A and B are shown apart, each in its own frame.
Chain A
Amino acid sequence: MEGVRPPEEWIRAAAETPRGYGAMKRKEDARFVRGRGRYVDDVVLPGMLHGAVLRSPLAHARIVAIDTSAAEAHPRVRAVITGETLAVLGLAWMPTLMQDTQAVLATDKVRFQGQEVAFVVADDHYAARDALDLIDVEYEPLPPTIDARRALEPDAPVVRDDQEGRTDNHVFDWSSGDAAATDAVFAEAAARPDQQVIGADVLYPRVHPAPLETCGAVADMDPVTGKLTLWTTTQAPHAHRTIYAMVAGLPEHKIRVVSPDIGGGFGNKVGIYPGYVCAIVASIVTGVPVKWMEDRSENLMSTSFARDYHMRGEVAVTADGRLRAVRVHVLADHGAFNATAQPTAFPAGFFGVFTGSYDLEAAHCAVTGVYTHKAPGGVAYACSFRITEAVYLIERLVDVVAHDLGMDPAELRRRNLLRPDQFPYRSATGWEYDSGDYPHTLQVALEKAGYDELRREQAELWRRHAAGEDVPLRGIGLSFFTEAVGAGPRRTMDILGLGMADGAELRVHPTGKAVLRVSCQSQGQGHETTFAQVVAAELGISPDDVEVVHGDTDQTPFGLGTYGSRSTPVSGAATAIVARKVRERAKIVAAAMMEAELEDLEWRHGSWAVRGVEGASRTLAEIALAAHSDLELPEGVEGHLDATTVYNPPNLTYPCGAYVCVVDVDPGTGEVHVRRFVAVDDCGVRINPMIVEGQVHGGLADGVGMALMQSIAFDLEGNCLGGSFMDYLLPTALECPSWELGETVTPSPHHPIGAKGVGESATVGSPPAVVNAVIDALSPYGVRHADMPLTPAAVWRAMQGRPLRTDLAIS
């Protein structure tokens, strides 16, 4: 049973109450294991009605007529809302986060299969669904643009003919890096005999985050007070409140967004969806609360997808494996509306970090975005705003280079990784990496995996395969990733003009118990525990004595929410700083209590103590009581014990990691079995290592899923082929190995506690490791690249017609 038991320190921690950092049982779990979590669908209000959305069965069609009379005549139906209804209110279209617009309910045309067409409000969920069948929509089918690679052809059907004067499907062109300098390096590499240019076409297919809880809302507009309370599945409650105020013209102080327990987000719950708006309008129209929860197909077919990047990458490299420059062209499929939820002025998000973990002379990327008749989205699914795509590309390219040069991929990476003395490192595309010891992290991973021995086993299996034995093809895949998280510095990042600073408020009650209020929003990350630990460590109290309040805009300070692994880098920093402010205020009170000078006080074992005087110290609880008492305080000190802060991150943080994946491929069926997965993450200081490891585990499963199973594909008519969990395959316990984790710790120099964030690291880093392992397994057949998902059919196809190379088997 070795390997199945959790680390001893977790079990010990479960029995103890730590002060500050370390493994600690999560405070939120007591309600979850009893089924007492409160998710949006659990919210029931008196008189509440139920909404359902009618969706388009076609990817592209003109709406000729909508007849809602039969639905309205249904005895349990209270209202039917169409685009026409919304148009009267000026809400038929809403702005996206990328200066585009998106239809709330279609008026002129439908532009993707699953697009929202009408909203029915009924007494119960079943009746609402029944009534959808009674709405008669007459469509005039039109040819759709589905294949992004053909979207810019002159005869491609135009997706956004709602935009005046538009005659094509072009969304944007964006580039990063120095094109001239990069081209110069490539020209030189192409010309010199000791250098070469190596390239590959790499697709990151469309996938979907598919949190287990779908999206939904309960809207309650009080007709008397004019106050809207919206319980909703949002990762960013404050941002949503402000956007509703801006878009719908509702006064912001009359909007309360409550994000209760969220059943997973992964970026799927950052944006605002038409269903939320419909629920709000329905509540206004009916005067009672309205609940809307989408079903699974609606979630997969209409809410934010992820990726869909068609990438061409080239590397200029010397014969001895020195990577000199990288050049990238991307065709980005944005679907029918440019509704990517990301906080930068860059249309391709953080894709600019495509230089990865390597020291390059020059780099350049050019990204072209196009519209297609598919669901909108693009930035979602733990992607750190497109770093998943960037890391996948560079790590795939490095393996292609290793393949073409006949080099070991570990050695190739070793020769090119940034050195510790290069930090802070300014990349060829202008990103300032804060800290890291990449060669060390890689070395820890290789040793943990037993890399050399793995290669020996592999060679033996290849030899036996070549000899005709029935053995699997073994593959070993590496990836080394650099993440950029914690958005972000105000000067470069915002969402609709909202800067990405996070507030925090901390109040210590007279008895020394504290309440922390934060703006970020847990979807399972364990903020109620982690942030309590941060406060506890700063104030010398128990995490059990700190209540963390989040998920209610009426109760928490402003901030932009949880996505892009930003909670610990931004709200975690705010938490540490606000706790330090409280500690400094406590110092003044302690000095008054002990009649000592401020400069004589020192923070010792969680108390303020007079330096050099035995026994002269006050705990936070003692100080808190005194701060609320009649103790005479110095001039200008108001009493009580609380503080607020707003943290404006000076830079992103840059976690990194080295992953090793070992797979067996059945040469007869193409089936891939993930035997082992070693993940060594460096996310800086770890507040609760148990939670950090849990986050990594989840991301690794995502990586296996994306590499081998998950894909939202379409037929040429625009029918979504991944519209249910029968078709969109997610990994179960049987596809996942027992993860083997390691760590290195390089604190962030600019974060108050040296933490970097980890939520998305494994989702970013693991897909290339799995794919590299599968391609490595197929190298006896000369395969150098195949696109995800590497289903048995895809793997089998990649091997067909290729001669078996026997030279590798004896290496």
Chain B
Amino acid sequence: MEITVVVNGRPHTRDVEPRLLLTHFLRDELSLTGTHWGCDTTTCGACTVRLDGVPVKSCTVLAVMADGARVDTVEGLATGWGEGDLDPVQQGFMTCHGLQCGFCTPGMLMTSRALLDQDPDPSPETIREAISGQICRCTGYENIVRSVRWAAEAEQAARATAASTEASGVSS
């Protein structure tokens, strides 16, 4: 079947088997190996990507189901190669030691980004709930919660700065 999926803003057209999983489409067809595979049962969430903005476990989505859809992966989070180009959730995970082996990290980042897009000021409980469909074997989750909070606060601060700059621009 021929499908076209817009991945990280770029359309990709491929002829794929109907049974091909979205994870394998991303990893094998597009060489986007940042999306990991960790179980067969939609439990671990290492494969989490955003499908039309919604975090999904790409090991239980067929690639053909994503035909015509927008898929965002960890590779699309940063805007460039500099550290300042990283998304705040990426910066948060680095600052607060929200990762160790790094295997669950891409999935955690995608869920965290989706959460902050919906709720810019989530409580620790909300963060735990949001990532509860994903497993991390290294961090015990505490630093992941801190990382997401760090990102939320950084984004709030950035918005406040932007607002005050705008306000001062108007008044001057």
Q: Which of A38-46, A340-348, A641-649 contacts B (4 or more CB under 8 A)?
A: A38-46
A126 near B19 with CB under 8 A, answer: yes
Contacting pair B39 A296 (CB below 8 A): yes
Expressed in whole angstroms, the Cα–Cα distance for A296 and B129 within the complex equals: 24
List B contacts of A523 (CB < 8 A): 101
Q: Is the CB of A25 within 8 A of B43?
A: no
Tell me if A733 and B131 are in contact (CB < 8 A): yes
B58 interface residue per 8 A CB criterion: no
Bound Cα distance A210, B138 (Å):
11
CB contacts (< 8 Å) of A210 on chain B: these are: 137
Report B156 CB to chain A, min CB distance, Å. Answer: 12
Whether, in the assembled complex, A29 has its beta carbon less than 8 Å from a beta carbon of chain B, the answer is yes
* Interface size bracket, B side: 35 or more
A744 to B136, CA, bound (A): 28
Question: Which of B24, B31, B96, B137 neighbours the largest number of chain A CB atoms within 10 Å of its CB?
Answer: B137
B140 in complex: contacting residue of A32, A261, A265, A739, CB < 8 Å: A739
Q: Which residues of the other chain, B, contact A1 by a CB distance below 8 angstroms?
A: 123-124, 149
Is B135 within 8 A of A212, CB to CB?
A: yes
Given contacts A34-B77, A690-B97, contact A524 B39 (CB under 8 A): no
For the complex, what is the distance from the CA of A14 to the CA of B17, rounded to whole Å? Answer: 46
Most chain B CB within a 10 A radius of its CB, from A11, A261, A694: A694
Most buried by A among B46, B97, B132, B134: B97
Residues A733 and B44 in contact in the complex (CB < 8 Å), given A34-B90, A212-B103: no
**Is there an interface contact between A726 and B146, defined as CB atoms closer than 8 Å?**
no
B15 sits at the interface (CB 8 A): no
Task: List residues 101-152 of chain B with CB under 8 A from any CB of chain A.
Answer: 101-106, 109, 123-124, 127-129, 131-146, 149-150
- For the complex, is B51 an interface residue (Cβ under 8 Å from A)? no
Q: Which residues of B contact A28 (CB under 8 A)?
A: 102
**Complex-state Cα separation, A41 to B103, whole angstroms:** 11
- Name B133's closest neighbour in chain A (CB-CB): A732
A30 within 8 A of B: yes
What's the least CB distance linking B12 to chain A, in Å? Answer: 17
Smallest Cβ distance from B23 to chain A, in angstroms? 11
| A380–B131 CA distance with the chains assembled, in angstroms | 27
Residues of B contacting A694 in the complex (Cβ-Cβ under 8 angstroms): 97, 100, 138-139, 143
In the assembled complex, B52 has its CB within 8 A of some CB on chain A: no
Docked-complex contact A213 and B36, CB < 8 angstroms = yes
Bound CA–CA A3/B105 (angstroms): 22
Given A725-B39, A726-B41, A733-B131, A264-B103 contact (CB < 8 Å):
yes
- A214-265 at interface with B (beta carbon < 8 Å): 214, 261-265
> Which stretch of A150-158, A465-473, A572-580, A697-705 is in the interface?
A697-705
Inter-subunit contact B101/A213 (CB<8 Å)? yes
Q: Is A792 an interface residue (CB 8 A)?
A: no
Q: Is the CB of B146 within 8 A of A14?
A: no
Q: Which residue of B lies closest to A766 (CB)?
A: B140
Q: How far is the CA of A699 from the CA of B137 in the complex (A)?
A: 9
Cβ B40 vs Cβ A297 within 8 A: yes
Within 8 A of A (CB), among B85-100: 86, 90, 93-97, 99-100
Q: How far is the CA of A351 from the CA of B36 in the complex (A)?
A: 37
Contact check, B137 vs A525: say whether CB atoms are below 8 A apart.
Answer: no
Category for how many chain A residues contact B? 35 or more
Specify the chain B residue showing the minimal Cβ separation from A737: B142
A residues 685-708 with Cβ under 8 Å of B?
690-691, 693-702
Q: Does A736 lie within 8 Å of B142, measured CB to CB?
A: yes
Tell me which residues across on chain B come within 8 A of A264, comparing CB atoms: 100-101, 103, 137-138
- Whether the Cβ atoms of B103 and A35 lie closer than 8 Å is no
Whose C-beta in chain B lies nearest to the C-beta of A690? B97
Closest to B85 in A: A34
Which residue of B is nearest A741, CB measured?
B142
Q: Which residues of B contact A33 (CB under 8 A)?
A: 74, 77, 86, 90, 93-94, 99, 102, 105, 109
Tell whether A32 pairs with B41 under 8 Å between CB atoms, given A126-B17, A524-B138, A733-B131: no
Determine the chain A residues whose CB is within 8 A of the CB of B129 once the complex forms.
Answer: 733-734
Known: A34-B75, A732-B135. A296 touches B38 (CB 8 A): yes
**Cα distance A550–B32 in the bound complex, in angstroms:** 25
Inter-chain CA distance A125–B145, complex, in Å, is: 36
- Does A491 sit within 8 A of B, measured CB to CB? no
Would you call A263 and B135 a contact (CB within 8 A)? no
Instruction: Kindly state whether residue A464 has any CB partner on chain B within 8 Å.
Output: no
What are the residues of chain B within 8 A of A265 when measuring CB–CB? Answer: 101
Nearest CB on A from B111, distance (A): 11
Q: Which of B46, B75, B77, B105 has the most CB of A within 10 A?
A: B105
Interchain CA distance A297-B38 in the complex, whole Å = 11
11 additional contacts, CB 8 Å, given A10-B95, A701-B140, A734-B129? A33-B105, A35-B75, A39-B36, A41-B27, A210-B137, A261-B102, A264-B103, A296-B40, A524-B99, A698-B140, A724-B43
8 sample A-B contacts, Cβ–Cβ < 8 Å, listed by A number = A26-B94, A35-B75, A35-B105, A211-B103, A732-B132, A732-B133, A732-B134, A736-B141
Which 6 interchain pairs have the tightest Cβ spacing?
A35-B34, A524-B101, A263-B103, A32-B102, A697-B140, A524-B100
